[in-house]
Structure 1
Amino acid sequence: MIVSTKGRYALRVMVYLAQKDAGEYVPLKEIAEAEHISQKYLESIMTVLSKADFVDAVHGKGGGYRLSRTPEQYTIGSILKLTEGSLAAVSCTANTPAGCQRGNCCEARPMWEKLDAMIDNFFEGITVANLLEKE
């Protein structure tokens, strides 16, 4: 599993917004500049986050984006699954429509499924709030 640029940027945006006051709408331009992401690419990410109700969006003067919930309510797994579609380590366990042709006879499949569960449990066990904690 390799997390795409889109997934990494979405995570950075969620952390950035979590650092802002809860009711404050942050302009796209500010986010783009602070996180060194092109506005055009960031727009596509914000559309995905907004459609999934991860962020609230207000257009026009005084508008921008803010988290729709508290940072504790977003797992890293939920953000990455939204942007990546799957966190599967190998394509045959990614629950794609094509599935795996060898699924019923693959001796390695249980191992891959266990790895997928470990990855899922790891990312579902970390919240945006956890990333804000200084160790």
Structure 2
Amino acid sequence: MRISTKGGYGIRAMYELAMAHGQGPVPLKVVAEKQALSENYLEQLMGTLRKAGLVRGVRGARGGYELARSPEAISVGDVIRALEGPIAPVSCVDLDAEADCERHASCPTRGVWERLRDSMIEVLDSTSLADLCKEVPQDAAPDDSGKGHC
């Protein structure tokens, strides 16, 4: 499974909100600047994350976005599922919609795909936004590519 730019950018945006947790809403412009991302694209992602119950939008002069729960209570898996859909390397092992593959009983690769899915879910669900905040020093500057910390 390859995480698209939607998932990657979403994680980076959620990281910024997690870093500012408890300090009030963060304007999307600030998130976009810190992570060198398109503000318009982030607005679309935030709409999806809001509908998933992961962020709250606050209107007004001091408005912006903030996490709907603590950084410890939101996993990377939560964000990826909201933006990308089910976590599965192939559709026949998708836990959300167990596809009926006519070959599942005799498929020699199904076990590999199930183990890969389970490993991906374990890593993504066991990594919280708080964990990501611990990974990068707060004073770390973006790299020279302009793509931010991640």
Q: How many residues align?
A: 135
2:71 aligned residue = 71
Q: CA deviation at 1:35?
A: 1.2
State yes or no: 1:120 paired with 2:129.
no
State yes or no: 1:37 paired with 2:17.
no
Q: CA deviation at 1:61?
A: 2.0
Q: Could you tell me the TM-score, scaled by structure 1's length?
A: 0.89
Listed one character per residue, the Cα deviations across residues 15-59 of structure 1 (whole Å, up to 9, x for unaligned) are: 101111414111111111111111111111000111111111012
Q: CA deviation at 1:129?
A: 0.6
2:10 aligned residue = 10
Give matches, 1:53-92, under 5 Å: 53-92=53-92
Q: Could you tell me the TM-score, scaled by structure 2's length?
A: 0.81
In 1, the alpha carbon distance for the partners of 2:135 and 2:85 equals: 30
Q: CA deviation at 1:105?
A: 2.8
Q: CA deviation at 1:92?
A: 2.5
After superposition, the Cα gap between the structure-2 partners of 1:111 and 1:50, relative to the gap in structure 1 and judged at 3 Å, is same
SS of 1:133's equivalent in the other structure is helix
Structure 2: which 5+ residue stretches go unaligned? 137-150
State yes or no: 1:108 paired with 2:109.
yes
Structure 1: which 5+ residue stretches go unaligned? none
Deviates more, 1:109-118 or 1:88-97: 88-97
Identity %: 38
